[in-house]
Amino acid sequence: MKYFSEFQFSVDDEQIESLLTEIKSGIAMPPNKEVLNLLFSILDLTSLSEKDNANNIGKLCEQVNLLDESYPDLPAPAAICVYPELVMLSRTKINNPLVNIAAVGGGFPASQTFLEIKLKEIEMAIETGAEEIDIVLPVGKFLLGLYEEIFEEINLIKEVMGSHHLKVILETGSLTNLTEVRKASFLAMDAGADFIKTSTGKTGIGASPDSFAVMCMAIKEYYEKTGKKVGIKPAGGISDVETALIYYNIVKNVLGEAWLHPEKFRIGASRLANAILGMIYDKGEDFKYFG
């Protein structure tokens, strides 16, 4: 490991609570159109259901393709995120070069399989068109303190991926406290993560502002020490604009404007896209374009 042991890991819970209170008190609804457009541009439109197939993912791709025609002043979403088996279909269907194809991989959502299988799955996803891969940090091993083993695994995955973006999901809801969230953040970044992400959305506990704030603070410290700007992605349970604004304002306050673009900030969501569109175009809370 390179820098992991050089950071301190304890978290001041009162400091986090005070920061979040200040941020939440400053949120004004509705936000201006510039902020809404930015929120849409950082979306990873996500479909990770056991019911996914060529029909519904094909429909999602077609809806993305028609955005230019339906809403010509709207920026493209950052990516669509699907299971590996549906990457080739997505790559074939999406005709907007600004929309990346992201896949979950590495034994998603529990990371409980053989490393050789994780690597092969990721290789195949990239070969069929994935530009980004979202993996899960091996939480079980992390809770045992097997940090070297986790480092080597993530580092090997990043080597296989090369220049493709690696997002490492910490599954913060399964960690025991904010100190563990901070420790996992530094471990993932040190091992080669291009993004760190809160949650899979599969455990019943998704993103939370306190864990997200801790992750942002770790990113800031890691950047100050190494010069590497790691991206950040909350996911799991973010379905309305007001909630999305909490995460937007945490990034703005902790990391600054340099992170407020799709190369460094994503939100993993599905329903949120409809909420943003409904607010931008005054179509009401029940408006539904996607789905």
Give 158-190 pLDDT, tens digit per residue: 999 999 999 999 999 999 999 999 999 999 999
Give how far Cα 270 sits from Cα of 9, 146, 172, 236, 285, Å.
33, 34, 20, 10, 15
Q: Is residue 289 part of a domain?
A: no
Using one digit for the tens of pLDDT, what is the confidence trace for 34-46?
A: 999 999 999 999 9
pTM of the model: 0.97
Q: Is residue 285 part of a domain?
A: no
Residue-range definition of the domain harbouring residue 77: 4-280
Compute the mean pLDDT over every residue in the chain, rounded to the nearest whole number.
97
What confidence category does residue 204 fall into, taking pLDDT thresholds of 50, 70 and 90?
A: confident
DSSP characters over 210-278: HHHHHHHHHHHHHHHHH----EEE-BSS--SHHHHHHHHHHHHHHT-GGG-STTTB-EEESHHHHHHHH
For residue 84, give the CATH number of its domain: 3.20.20.70
Residue 252: the pLDDT is: 98
Tokens of residue 267, six digits: 């939100």
Query: Does residue 286 fall inside a structural domain?
Result: no
Assess contact for 84 and 105: CB atoms under 8 A: yes
Q: Looking at the domain assignment, is residue 287 inside a domain?
A: no
**pLDDT at site 142:** 98
In the predicted structure, residue 284 carries a pLDDT above the cut 90: no
Kindly report, residue by residue over 117-163, the tens digit of the pLDDT.
999 999 999 999 999 999 999 999 999 999 999 999 999 999 999 99
- 291 pLDDT higher than 90: no
Number of domain units in the chain: 1
> If you search the block for the tokens 């005709």, which residue do you land on?
95
Q: What is the pLDDT of residue 285?
A: 83
Q: What are the residue numbers of the active site?
A: 134, 197, 233
Residue-level pLDDT at 206: 94
In percent, how much of the chain has pLDDT > 70? 100
- Radius of gyration, alpha carbons of the chain: 18
Estimate the crossing angle of helix 13-25 against helix 241-254, to 10 degrees.
120
Dump pLDDT digits (tens) for 231-259.
Answer: 999 999 999 999 999 999 999 999 999 99
- Determine how β-strand 267-269 pairs with β-strand 195-197: unpaired
